Amino acid sequence: MNTESKENTLALREWMSLTNLINQVPNKIRRGLVLQDVQFTCIDAADEFIAIGTNVGIVFWCNRITLKVTQFKPERGELGICCLKLVPSVDYMLAVGDKAGIISIFKIPKDLPKDLPEEFLKRFDNKTEIFTVRGIHKTQITALEWSLNGEKLFSGDSEGVVGFTQMDFYMNLTKSCQISDERYRIVQLSFHNAQLLTVASLYRCVILDKKQNWAVMQIGTKDRKTLAELGAVFNMRTNTSSSPPLIYTPRYGQRIWISDTRY
pLDDT tens per residue, range 164-192: 999 988 778 899 999 999 999 999 999 99
Q: Are strands 152-157 and 141-146 parallel, antiparallel or unpaired?
A: antiparallel
Q: Are residues 196 and 164 in the same domain?
A: no
Q: Are strands 59-63 and 186-192 parallel, antiparallel or unpaired?
A: unpaired
Q: Are residues 52 and 161 in the same domain?
A: yes
Residue 238 has pLDDT above 60, yes or no: no
Interatomic CA distance for residues 54 and 212, integer angstroms = 38
Of 181, 213, 230, the last residue of a domain is: 181
Q: Are residues 209 and 171 in the same domain?
A: no
Between the CA atoms of 178, 180, 182 and 184, what dihedral angle is there, to the nearest 10 degrees? -20
- Total number of domains in the chain: 2
Q: Are residues 44 and 173 in the same domain?
A: yes
Q: Are residues 38 and 100 in the same domain?
A: yes
DSSP 96-137: EEETTS-EEEEEEPPPPPTTS-HHHHHH---PPEEEEE-SS-
Q: Are residues 51 and 172 in the same domain?
A: yes
pTM: 0.87
Look at residue 17 and tell me if it is in a domain: no
Of 181, 212, 239, the last residue of a domain is: 181
Q: Which of 16-20, 93-97, 200-204 is predicted least confidently?
A: 16-20
Q: What is the pLDDT of residue 18?
A: 78
Q: Are residues 83 and 152 in the same domain?
A: yes
Look at residue 71 and tell me if it is in a domain: yes
Q: Are residues 111 and 230 in the same domain?
A: no
Q: What is the pLDDT of residue 140?
A: 96
Mean pLDDT of 81-101: 95
Look at residue 20 and tell me if it is in a domain: no
3-class state of residue 86 by DSSP: strand
Q: What is the pLDDT of residue 114?
A: 67
Residues 6+ apart with CB under 8 A from 73: 57, 58, 59
Look at residue 12 and tell me if it is in a domain: no
Residue 240 has pLDDT above 80, yes or no: no
Of 154, 181, 208, the last residue of a domain is: 181
Q: CB count, 10 Å around CB of 248?
A: 16
Look at residue 11 and tell me if it is in a domain: no
Interatomic CA distance for residues 42 and 53, integer angstroms = 5
What are the backbone dihedrals phi and psi of residue 142, each rounded to the nearest 5 degrees, phi first? -115, -15
Mean pLDDT of 89-101: 94
Q: Which of 35, 74, 233 lies closest to 143 in space, CA to CA?
A: 233
Interatomic CA distance for residues 262 and 7, integer angstroms = 39
The backbone region for 241, taken as left when phi is positive above 0, alpha when psi lies in -120 to 50, beta otherwise, is alpha
Q: Are residues 175 and 207 in the same domain?
A: no
Look at residue 109 and tell me if it is in a domain: yes
Look at residue 14 and tell me if it is in a domain: no
What are the backbone dihedrals phi and psi of residue 19, each rounded to the nearest 5 degrees, phi first? -60, -40
Q: Which domain holds residue 162?
A: 32-181
Q: Are residues 194 and 175 in the same domain?
A: no
Confidence of residue 4 (pLDDT cuts 50, 70, 90): very low
Mean pLDDT of 228-239: 82
Q: Are residues 128 and 153 in the same domain?
A: yes
CATH number at residue 115: 2.130.10.10
Look at residue 10 and tell me if it is in a domain: no
Residue 244 has pLDDT above 50, yes or no: yes
Q: Are residues 36 and 141 in the same domain?
A: yes
Interatomic CA distance for residues 194 and 209, integer angstroms = 9
SS (H, E, C) 175-227: EEEEEEECCCCEEEEEEECCCEEEEEECCCEEEEEHHHCCEEEECCCCCCCCC
Mean pLDDT of 232-247: 75
